[in-house]
C-alpha cells in the first residue's frame, strides 16, 4: 500500500496479507492442477483446498462438508436464498414467505425483491430503528405459517451496527419446535467475521455467508456455510464440485488464500479487535468533539470495531469523498452520487435519516493496518475539506427550508 495515502475503507475491501499472498503464490503456476483431477497435479491442490476447508470449519465450528466455497458473499447470498427457495418449490405449491431486514446489502435485498416481483415469494421487511438495530418483537410478529426463511445481516456494511443474530437464532429454534415446516435462518456475516463470534451453533444459523477479501484474503472467493440437512438445491448447473452445491472448477488459489486468511484471523482476532476498537472510539470521540454539524449514524456501542458512519451538515458525500481523495484519504459515502443512482443509501433512510443527512454521510472503516497517526491526519484533513465545502454551500439548506415554511 502507498504509505503516504490514508486508507480508511476497509469495509470496502482489505489488502491481501503478505503471508496470505505467500501461501497463494505457488498455486498459480507451480501447483496449477485442477483440484478435481485424480492425478497428482490435482490431488496436491485438493489437499491444500481441504486444508483450507478444515480451517474454515474450525473457524465456524462446523463440519468440513458444511463449507461450500463460492466466489464471495454476493454468490453465497444468492445461493442461500434462491437455493432454499428452489428446494422448497420441489415439494410445495404454496408461495413461501421470506423475512429480511430493511437494510440488507443489495445482494440480499435485490434478490428477494426480484423473487417477490416474479411472484415466487411473499416478502416482509423488518424495520430498523435509529440505533441501526432491528427489534426481536417485530420479527416475532412477522412470522407466518408459510415463513420459509429469515435473512438478517450480522453487521451492517454501511453503518456497522450489529444485529442480535444469536437471539434471533434462539427465537426461531423455539418456534421451530412447534412447526412442521421449519423456518430456516440465514445471516450475511460478511462484515462481522473479523470481529464477532462466528460459532454457527451459538448463532443458531442454518446458512452463513462470508467473503475472503474483507479479512485480508483475495477477492473473488467466499463461503456459504450450509448446515447439514438443510433443504437447499444448487442454482448453478454443471459439475458436482462442492458437494454438488456449487458447480465450477474450484478457485483453488483463492480458496487456499482464504484458508490462510482465516487462520491468521483466528490467531490474532482478540488482540486486533481491542486495538481497532480503541482506534474507532478515538476517532468517533475526536470527530464528534472537534467538528461541528456532525452526527454518528447508528448505535454508538452496538457496532463493529471497524466502522463509523457520520453525517455532516451542509456538505454532500460525493464532494466530501472526492475532496478527501484529492488529499490522499480514501473513505466511502452513502450519498446517491457515489452509487450511480439518484437515491441516497437505503440503509441510512431505513434508520430514519433525512435525505440531506444521508447525502452528507461518510463511512470511515478501520483495519489492522490503521494507526492513530493516520486518524489524526485524517481528522485534520477532514476539517479543512469540510470548511471549504461548507463555504461553497453557504446557507442554502437553511434558506431552502425557510422558504418552504
Partner 1 sequence: MNYSKEVIAHFTAPHNQGVIKNPDGMGMVGNPTCGDLMKIYIKVKKNIISDIKFETLGCASAIATSSMITDLAKNKTIEAASKITRDDVAEALSGLPLIKMHCSNLASEALTAAIEDYKNKIK
From the candidates 107, 112, 331, 337, give the one annotated as an active-site residue: 337
Nearest distance, CB of residue 19 and partner 1, angstroms: 34
| Cα 118 to Cα 31: distance, rounded to the nearest angstrom | 45
136 versus 291: smaller Cβ distance to partner 1 = 291
DSSP 127: P
Nearest distance, CB of residue 297 and partner 1, angstroms: 16
Nearest distance, CB of residue 368 and partner 1, angstroms: 30
> 184, 207 in Cβ contact below 8 A?
yes
DSSP 79: H
| Cα 108 to Cα 78: distance, rounded to the nearest angstrom | 7
Nearest distance, CB of residue 397 and partner 1, angstroms: 6
Q: Is 337 a catalytic residue?
A: yes
Nearest distance, CB of residue 40 and partner 1, angstroms: 47
Nearest distance, CB of residue 364 and partner 1, angstroms: 19
124 versus 357: smaller Cβ distance to partner 1 = 357
Which helix or strand (DSSP H or E) is residue 309 part of? strand 307-312
187 versus 338: smaller Cβ distance to partner 1 = 338
DSSP string, 213-278: TTTTS-SS-EEEEE-TT-----SS-SS-HHHHTS-S---HHHHHHHHHHHHHHHHHHHHHHHHHHH
DSSP string, 339-398: HTSSSPPHHHHHTT--HHHHHTEEEEE--TT--HHHHHHHHHHHHHHHHHHHHHHTTHHH
Q: Which three cell numbers stand for residue 87?
A: 428446494
172 versus 336: smaller Cβ distance to partner 1 = 336
C-alpha 336: how far from its chain's center? 20
178 versus 391: smaller Cβ distance to partner 1 = 391
- Angle at CA 177, nearest 5°, toward 98 and 58? 75
3-state helix, strand, coil in the chain (%, to 5): 45, 15, 40
Residues of this chain that interact with partner 1 (CB under 8 A) are 314-319, 322-323, 326, 335-337, 340-342, 344, 354-356, 359, 391-394, 396-397, 399-400, 403
Beta strands in 92-171 (DSSP E): 97-101, 122-126, 147-151
Nearest Cα residue to 215 out of 88, 304, 342: 304
104 versus 356: smaller Cβ distance to partner 1 = 356
Q: So which residues are the catalytic ones? A: 337
Amino acid at each position: 500500500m502507498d504509505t503516504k495515502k490514508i486508507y480508511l475503507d476497509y469495509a470496502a475491501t482489505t489488502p491481501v496479507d503478505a503471508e496470505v499472498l505467500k501461501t497463494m503464490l505457488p498455486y498459480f503456476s507451480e501447483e496449477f492442477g485442477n483440484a478435481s483431477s485424480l492425478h497428482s497435479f490435482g490431488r496436491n491442490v485438493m489437499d491444500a483446498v481441504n486444508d483450507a476447508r478444515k480451517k474454515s470449519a474450525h473457524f465456524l465450528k462446523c463440519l468440513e462438508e458444511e463449507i461450500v466455497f463460492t466466489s464471495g458473499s454476493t454468490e453465497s447470498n444468492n445461493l442461500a436464498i434462491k437455493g432454499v427457495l428452489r428446494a422448497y418449490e420441489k415439494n410445495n405449491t404454496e408461495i413461501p414467505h421470506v423475512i429480511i431486514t430493511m437494510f440488507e446489502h443489495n445482494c440480499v435485498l435485490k434478490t428477494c425483491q426480484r423473487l417477490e416481483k416474479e411472484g415466487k415469494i411473499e416478502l416482509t421487511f423488518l424495520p430498523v430503528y435509529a440505533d441501526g438495530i432491528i427489534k426481536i418483537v417485530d420479527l416475532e410478529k412477522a412470522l407466518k405459517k408459510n415463513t420459509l426463511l429469515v435473512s438478517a445481516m450480522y453487521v451492517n456494511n454501511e453503518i456497522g451496527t450489529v444485529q442480535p443474530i444469536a437471539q434471533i437464532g434462539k427465537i426461531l429454534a423455539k418456534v421451530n419446535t412447534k412447526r412442521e415446516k421449519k423456518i430456516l435462518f440465514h445471516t450475511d456475516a460478511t462484515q462481522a467475521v473479523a470481529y464477532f463470534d462466528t460459532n454457527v451453533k451459538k448463532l443458531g444459523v442454518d446458512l452463513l455467508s462470508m467473503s475472503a477479501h474483507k479479512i485480508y484474503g483475495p477477492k473473488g472467493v467466499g463461503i456459504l456455510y450450509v448446515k447439514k440437512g438443510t433443504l437447499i438445491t444448487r442454482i448453478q448447473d454443471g459439475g458436482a464440485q462442492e458437494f454438488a452445491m456449487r458447480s465450477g472448477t474450484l478457485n483453488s488459489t483463492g480458496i487456499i488464500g482464504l484458508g490462510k486468511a482465516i487462520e491468521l484471523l483466528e490467531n490474532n482476532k482478540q488482540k486486533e479487535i481491542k486495538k481497532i476498537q480503541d482506534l474507532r472510539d478515538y476517532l468517533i470521540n475526536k470527530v464528534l468533539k472537534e467538528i461541528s454539524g456532525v452526527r454518528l449514524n447508528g448505535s454508538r456501542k452496538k457496532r463493529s470495531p471497524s466502522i463509523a458512519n457520520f453525517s455532516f451538515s451542509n456538505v454532500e458525500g460525493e464532494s466530501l469523498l472526492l475532496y478527501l481523495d484529492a488529499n490522499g484519504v480514501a473513505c466511502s459515502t452513502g450519498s446517491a452520487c457515489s452509487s450511480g443512482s439518484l437515491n441516497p443509501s437505503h440503509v441510512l433512510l431505513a434508520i430514519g435519516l433525512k435525505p440531506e443527512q444521508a447525502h452528507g454521510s461518510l463511512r470511515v472503516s478501520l483495519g489492522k493496518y490503521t494507526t492513530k497517526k493516520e486518524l489524526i491526519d485524517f481528522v485534520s484533513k477532514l476539517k479543512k475539506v469540510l470548511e471549504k465545502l461548507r463555504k461553497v454551500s453557504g446557507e442554502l439548506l437553511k434558506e431552502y427550508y425557510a422558504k418552504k415554511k
